[in-house]
Structure 1
């Protein structure tokens, strides 16, 4: 588990210090894949470096499995640092060494013997989907594949925590999907707790269990991704859910209009048809769309209902776990 308490970090400025982090507190569950989402300059990389023990905060506490790392020194601090791996956006790879050789290099520095080193390298090659690339040189790989080599290097020593700073930046969609798959497998198969930073809300949508949103060094929101998107007004929902754009005049033809968030196979596939049949109302989708959060289907729809039981149908949908937000409709003027 990673616990950050009231973390503040500043850097020298031309006239006054620049505050990169302002009393940030987060808690990352053991084995979670936690995303820190925010625009450039929000403080994401600074937070990652503090958790990775590469930066010392001005004040505040970082705890790894309950240990206050600021109180550690000497041998104990070195032991804890070995449990925390960091992936740089552009991992430094030795051009003259093969993929397998690059992955083995940090194990060589740790003095891991030959048979054990080969076993670990083979395992992370498989985990990262690079077994067929083991004998190739970094120059023969795509940027996304090189990023996965960096991940394999970071994972080879068996860390408990992995910090990935903007791991999909500058690579295409297919390569990004490969990197996110590796992070998910590291969490699921190795039990590694993953903290990643990103400006891309689709990374949070595709990969993260939990999220914290940073703006100008402040944490404005955190929680489970699926929990936060049930409130369409949340920062996470606005970033992750499909947008709704519907002319208001279109809504005036119906008795009731509401925006709904539906989560899960049963809700997305069956809830609306059942409500229509049960209450004998017409339900039309006039805006929004479908997406997935991880493997979970999620819908963000603008519904238009026609029928005397429209209000009852919306209440029934809400009682079954959907988030329902009524939308004001235009009133048509009555002709004289």
Structure 2
């Protein structure tokens, strides 16, 4: 549906050229919700604006629905943009127009008759839950309602692609959740391909199928949200995930743990469970098979959309050879196993 190939964007700054995008290539499939996450200045806003050529790349190609956008004339590009809606962080509503008139504005610019505009806009207001606000002005709306107007306006031209530029960044957490649920519903009902950029991992976690992590204008990691979230490869992805998953060691344990084994030391292990493995009695099987004791330090279970995942921090005690056999057993199973460190026997329990 969307294919970016070798994308580069160079700005001329006062101190010389600035490379905002550096050889970016990615593919978004039809009907996906594709997230692009990065810190401020990473290049994500430039990237999403290159998709509809609000920013023209210095090099590389942008292909949308089989059409190479970078090869189009200005007139052809204006026509092609009609198949791509865009919503923004700051809503950009016209204060002197009602909700209905704001949503209808792109149709008005396209020369659609007033009767046809109303016929197309009213179902959109129902879709975003604002049917009762059609004659209200933006100043009378909450932030979440304003963003719903922005979403309806982006859908007015019946686009195939919806681009979301930090669409929830100006909203409180509860309103953010409602907007994300709306985008997911729109994706399901209309089969719309959605590309969104954000600096918040919980947004990616909530609704995206695929994710690209951008840092310094380069893609440092791509993959399914489940893969990146549960087995992050880049430091940037790991930093984002720490914001939504608490993997911090308890203070009492952090005070006594060592990265080097000692005589009679216990092993602290973090287990990560994915999908069906969250329901397996792993610790019970471990204790039955090996002469070790397993003490649970902390744990949690969450969901990545419909897929359960969990983490468990445990302390293994026993003879070194039995502990190693137990670790080999854990490594052989379909779960993540990470040795965090070592503690003297009974040291953590005494804290």
Give the match's secondary structure for 1:5.
strand
| Equivalent of residue 324 in structure 1, options 318, 322, 337 | 337
Match for residue 285 of structure 2? 275
Report if the CA contact (8 A) 1:4-1:61 is conserved: yes
Deviation at 1:6, TM superposition (A): 1.2
Spell out the pairing of 1:41-52 with structure 2 (5 A cutoff): 41-52=41-52
User: Across the two proteins, how many residue pairs are aligned to each other?
Assistant: 332
Distance in 1 separating the partners of 2:281 and 2:66: 44
Indicate yes or no: 2:240 matched with 1:239. Answer: yes
For 1:271 and 1:319, how far apart are their aligned partners in 2? 15
Q: TM-score, normalised by structure 2?
A: 0.84
Matched residue SS, 1:125: helix
2:33 touches 2:193 (CA, 8 Å); kept in 1? yes
Q: Which residue is 2:349 aligned to?
A: none
Runs of 5+ consecutive residues of structure 2 not aligned to the other structure: 347-351
Preserved CA contact (<8 Å) 1:275 1:313: no
Distance (whole Å) between structure 1 residues aligned to residue 328 and residue 221 of structure 2: 28
Which whole-Å CA distance do the structure 2 matches of 1:223 and 1:95 have between them?
A: 41
1:297 pairs, out of 291, 308, 317, with 308
| Range that drifts further, 110-119 or 56-65 | 110-119
Shift in alpha-carbon separation, 1:98–1:311, aligned structure 2, 3 A:
farther
State the distance in 2 between where 1:285 and 1:193 align: 43
Residue in 1 aligned with 2:160? 160
What is the rounded CA distance, in whole Å, between the counterparts of 2:316 and 2:32 in structure 1?
40
> How far apart, in 1, do the equivalents of 2:213 and 2:119 lie?
39
Deviations 1:138-187 (A, max 9, x none): 11111121011101100121111111111111210111112211221222
Residue 210 of structure 1: aligned partner = 210
Range 194-203 or range 282-291, more displaced = 282-291
Q: Deviations over 1:106-158 (max 9, x none)?
A: 12222334554334323322322222333322111111210111011001211
Instruction: Mark the CA change 1:107 to 1:310 in structure 2 (over 3 Å): closer, same or farther.
Output: farther
Separation in structure 2 between the aligned mates of residue 77 and residue 213 of structure 1, nearest angstrom: 28
- Structure 1: runs of 5+ lacking an equivalent: none
**Kindly tell me: are residues 32 and 282 of structure 1, through their superposed partners in 2, closer, same or farther at Cα, counting changes over 3 Å?**
farther
**Mapping of 1:1-336 within 5 angstroms?**
1-73=1-73, 76-114=76-114, 116-234=116-234, 235-240=236-241, 241-246=245-250, 247-248=253-254, 249=256, 255-264=266-275, 266-272=276-282, 274-276=284-286, 278-279=288-289, 282-287=293-298, 289-306=300-317, 311=324, 314-330=327-343
Task: Provide, for residues 244-264 of structure 1, a one-character-per-residue CA deviation record: whole Å limited to 9, x for no partner.
Answer: 324253699875432222123
Q: Is the 8 A contact 1:206 1:292 kept in 2?
A: no
| Counterparts of 2:104 and 2:142, CA distance in 1 | 20
What is the alpha-carbon distance in structure 2 between the residues aligned to residue 79 and residue 278 of structure 1? 67
In structure 2, relative to structure 1, the CA distance for the partners of 1:271 and 1:103 (3 Å cut) is farther
Offset of residue 314 of structure 1: 4.9
Residue 97 of structure 1, CA deviation: 2.4
Moved over 6 A (4+): 250-254
TM-aligned CA deviation for residue 14 of structure 1: 1.0
Shift in CA distance, 283/128, structure 1 to aligned 2, threshold 3 Å: farther
Q: Which moved more, 1:249-258 or 1:120-129?
A: 249-258
